[in-house]
Chains A and B, each alone.
Chain A
Amino acid sequence: MKKKYTVEKDNYEDAGQASRDIKKTLKAFGLDPKTLKRVSIACYEAEINLVIHSDGGTILFEIDQNGIIHLSFDDVGPGIPDIEKAMTPGWSTASPKAREFGFGAGMGLDNMKNCATTFHIESSSEGTHLKMTFV
């Protein structure tokens, strides 16, 4: 089962909508609570990242034949200049507007990595591609 979502840049009002739908779908699927918790938190963090930091992008959500959850986040830029730094807890480049909405604490990527079973990120000025799986 696959589903694709589009995420708009700076659309704070609708931020989290895709994650809500994914969470709802996973509940209907009957995913165990522990995995569901990890997926929900990581997915939400990643979606918010698209809204705050990227120029917009897509989320691809998949449950494969073996019940493994795949999440891919692909944006069209501007890219993360220093991924290592971005992975550091507390490091944030979030705008004052994002912080006003309660986002941008700098825990995002680190948090996601802790939640996911596999975590892969690559970035250039063309865009950032993040893949996570959950078992």
Chain B
Amino acid sequence: MKPVVKYSEKKCVQCIKCLKSCPTDAISIVDHYVHINEEQCIYCDVCIKECPSRILKVDNVHMSETMHQHDYNVALIPTSLLSDMKSYDEFSKICAAILKLGFNEVVQYSDIEGFLYKKAIEESHQKEGIWLTSFCPTINRLIEKKYPTLYDRILPYNYPVEIAAKRIRQRLVGRNVGIYSLCECVGKMTLAKYPFGNENSNIDYAMTISHVFPKINKLKSNDKHVLKMNKYGVKSSVEDLFGNRSLSVVRVEGLNQTKSLLELLEFDRIQHVDLVAMYACYQGCIGGYYLWSNPFEGCYNIESMMTHYHEEMIALDEQEYRIQREFSSHEIKSMKERMDWFMQVNEVLECLPQYDCGACGFANCRSLAQGIVDGKVNIDVCRVRKGEKK
């Protein structure tokens, strides 16, 4: 994978807002330069949103450069796109405009989401213990990186958008198809081959909705292209159905709330629940940063179109949606080396104020101590220590 969040030194005022806001302490500032540790980054959008200088960004794929390389182009559109629409008519007009961009087909995947939503509830009720749902790449990565004891509790389902791309590939086998995923968030973008290099994906390209929106808007007319949206899929991506208390399902939105819940789960403190559905964004996927509307009104927009969504369910084969998740451990140090390193870090930590102020360019004193032991910085970067010496 290539670096996801791009930083340009120019205009950076080194305000440390990015490193203080990062949910996984992946950011540090060394020698006036922002470093994002790709190993720790969970592809949320918090630093991008927090940056007052607007210099943290994600790359986009430019359709004009890639579409002519394929003889059939497909646009995958997220269910959350509905939240930006005032009516189903408007949604149909937008879909027609997307086709006019040069796509041969616009494909939605709310039916797959609906299937997985029902499957998740069914399976979590049948199997013992608590299960976690996995529709959000950012949440899954958060669990992998910060709550590894829970990684084996994530239901082994592939992402709906990836399943949809695979189905398109199979349907159009033998043709040179370009599959584009319009994304509402950074997390979803990382699932595609380009721009970030997830080579195993069936999705060729990912771009943010806000990136293509101006072009779509220009092409919008009274022409309509009607897509059938599945009611359960729509509901699952706006968290509604997971909020049904009679199903012993807990849903939680936002990274902070999710982290609180995961902490409790690690102590085995949540016991009367079968399924935990987590979303990195407020109101689920409709809280995605790259939608142009807002999730507050968005949930009403989605609700107001309820009569237009159908309830027919599709059936997926197990091999179509189940995946084997492998925990990737990058531990290369031996036990002895790790022990020595850890002891050194703790020794340095004892000399630090442990206010976790971040002024040194590290998110907290422990990160700084690690940085010192790893030879990245000198202890003199600690401003509190310097002040006390005087």
Contacts and interface: CB of A to CB of B under 8 A. Distances in A.
B267 interface: yes
Contacts of B335: 66-67
Chain A interface size range: 20 to 34
Contacts of A30: 331, 338, 342
Given A27-B146, A65-B339, A41 B151 contact: no
Contacts of B343: 1
B267 A41 contact: yes
B338 A28 contact: no
Measured as residues with beta carbon below 8 angstroms from the partner, the interface class of chain B is 20 to 34
A33 B327 contact: yes
Contacts, number: 43
Contact of B267 (A28, A34, A40): A40
Contacts of B104: none
A7 to B, nearest CB: 15
Given A67-B335, A67-B339, A28 B366 contact: yes
Nearest to A23: B266
A44 B267 contact: yes
Determine which residue in B149, B268, B338, B366 has the highest number of CB atoms from chain A within 10 A of its CB, and name it: B149
B331 A20 contact: no
Nearest to B333: A30
Contact of A40 (B266, B331, B346): B266
Given A19-B267, A30-B331, A40-B266, A1 B149 contact: no
8 contacts: A1-B346, A16-B267, A20-B263, A29-B342, A33-B149, A41-B267, A44-B267, A67-B335
Interface of B: 146, 148-149, 151, 263, 266-269, 327, 329, 331, 335, 338-339, 342-343, 345-346, 366
Closest 3 pairs (CB-CB, A-B): A33-B148, A37-B149, A44-B267
